[in-house]
Amino acid sequence: MGVNLSSLTEPKTVELSELEGKTVAIDAYNTIYQFLSIIRQPDGQPLCDRTGRVTSHLSGLLYRTANLITSGIEPCFVFDGKPHPLKMAILAERKERREKAADEWEEAIEEGDIKKAFSKAQQTSKMTPEIRESSRELISYLGLPMVDAPSDGEGQAAYMCSKGDVWAAASQDFDSLLFGAPTLVRNMTITGRRKVPGKDQYKDVRTEVIDSKEFLESLEITKEQLVDICILMGTDFNPGIPGIGPKKGLKLIKDHGDLEHVISSKSYDIPLYQDVRDIFLKSKYTDDYSTTSSEIQRDKIIGMLEGYDFSKERIEGTLDRIDVARKNNRSKKSQRSLDAWF
DNA sequence: CTTTTTTA
DNA sequence: TAAAAAAGG
């Protein structure tokens, strides 16, 4: 599920309101997957309509997006395109993991172990074509821009950020940094508390901003070296060396300079490492996109979500909040451009 | 996850 | 009034 570099970062935490007026490229797959994983009943059952269609992602998208708009943030959803051939191995691995977890979920229910059931159920989360299409339908009715990446969505988001078309790439993964995004936002949520997996503990979850330049300077490495560290750790495109995480990877690359020297010094076998480097450093992207939002289609949203058994009262309340926020945002935006003019 | 309801 | 618990679909 992407590289995890959290142990190497000292993230700057911000309030959502501090991101007012900023356009953010959201990793759609990452966000939807998170909703599918977390929005569940205590026994692990996802939210569903009366016909059994999963609705967890629609609930998450509606309420989270409403909050982002309320904070004056302009979301732009970036969807993954065709996966790189080197990603097939991890996709197959994930499929196997999902199938195993489905069996273990059932077992846990039989044993009456609710905690275990929830955790196993989370691991069964799968992005189906129905979930992808219903997400796109809702996002389009919300009037929010969508971008179709030629390949990896994080690569596309990074490109858009480099160009300055968006202020940051938003994802829980750090991959957009490897793809060259100047700014990454994590935990772009309203909730301040999240359960620690497997434990009865909670920790504060704050929105984090990671500036790529500052991050690399603090570690005293280049972007190319960061990619090499992650190849040692393992990415979605290669398995990595067992036992090497961020700390050891950083030390090895700093001691030897680059992956070639680490490989020859330690006799590691990392086939196709140059291809993995190219995925991140020469990623595919498209210029065929827009980041501007259009009018919200209120009736379409109500019609759609009522069909998924959402309460009309709740939908309307949320849409009212969005309307108020959109009006405020527009007047503030025109005020900002007026100020800039004079 | 986010909202709503219940509890202290 | 705020924190905890439950519900949402």
* pLDDT tens per residue across span A96-154: 999 999 999 999 999 999 999 999 999 999 999 999 999 999 999 999 999 999 999 99
Q: Between the CA of A319 and the C1' of B5, what is the distance in angstroms?
A: 22
Q: For A4-39, what is each residue's pLDDT tens digit?
A: 999 999 999 999 999 999 999 999 999 999 999 999
Does some domain include residue A335? no
Closest nucleotide C1' to the C-alpha of A193 = B1
Per DSSP, the residues of A126-191 read ---HHHHHHHHHHHHHTT--EEE-SS-HHHHHHHHHHHTSSSEEE-SSSHHHHTT-SEEEE---S-
Same domain, A162 and A138: yes
| A129 and A227 both lie in a single domain | no
**Cβ-based neighbour number of residue A153 at 10 Å:** 27
State, as a whole number of angstroms, the distance between the CA of A135 and the C1' of C8: 18
| Protein residues contacting strand C, judged by Cβ under 7 Å | A 39-41, 45-49, 55, 58-59, 63, 308-311, 314
Give yes or no: residues A62 and A122 share one domain. Answer: yes
Same domain, yes or no, for A153 and A180?
Answer: yes
Whether residue A250 sits in one domain with residue A214? no
| Neighbour tally for A53: CB within 10 Å | 17
Shared domain check, A192 and A64: yes
Find which nucleotide's C1' atom is closest to A321's CA.
B3
Domain identity same for A113 and A233: no
For residue A228, being part of any structural domain is answered with yes
Same domain (yes/no): A188, A257: no
In the block, tokens 């069964």 appear at A124
What's the average model confidence in pLDDT over A48-53?
98
Q: Which of A168, A185, A219 is the last residue of a domain?
A: A219
Is the C-alpha dihedral spanning A165, A167, A173, A179 positive or negative?
positive
Name the nucleotide nearest A311; use CA and C1': C9
Helix (H, G, I), strand (E, B) or coil at A250: helix
The CATH number assigned to the domain holding A272 equals 1.10.150.20
Q: Which residues of A are annotated as a binding site for Mg(2+)?
A: 27, 80, 154, 173, 175, 236
In a domain? residue A122:
yes
Q: Tell whether A170 and A241 lie within a shared domain.
A: no
Grade residue A155 by pLDDT with cuts at 50, 70 and 90: very high
Do residues A173 and A65 both lie within one domain? yes
Closest CA to A60 of A131, A153, A160, A166: A131
Q: Are residues A129 and A139 in the same domain?
A: yes
Q: Which residues of A are annotated as a binding site?
A: 27, 80, 154, 173, 175, 236
Distance measured from the CA of protein residue A179 to the C1' of nucleotide B1, in angstroms? 28
The nucleotide minimizing the C1' distance to residue A49's CA is: C9
**Mean predicted confidence (pLDDT) in A57-64:** 98
User: Read out DSSP for A176-210?
Assistant: HHHTT-SEEEE---S--EEEPTTSS-EEE--EEEE
User: Residue A240 domain-assigned?
Assistant: yes
pLDDT band for A1, please (50, 70, 90 cuts).
confident
Which range of residues forms the domain containing residue A202? 1-219
Q: What is the mean pLDDT of chain A?
A: 95
- What's the domain count of chain A? 2
Nucleotides of B under 7 A from a protein CB: 1-4
Instruction: Specify the range with the lowest mean pLDDT, choosing from A199-203, A273-277, A278-282.
Output: A199-203
Mean pLDDT of A70-75: 98
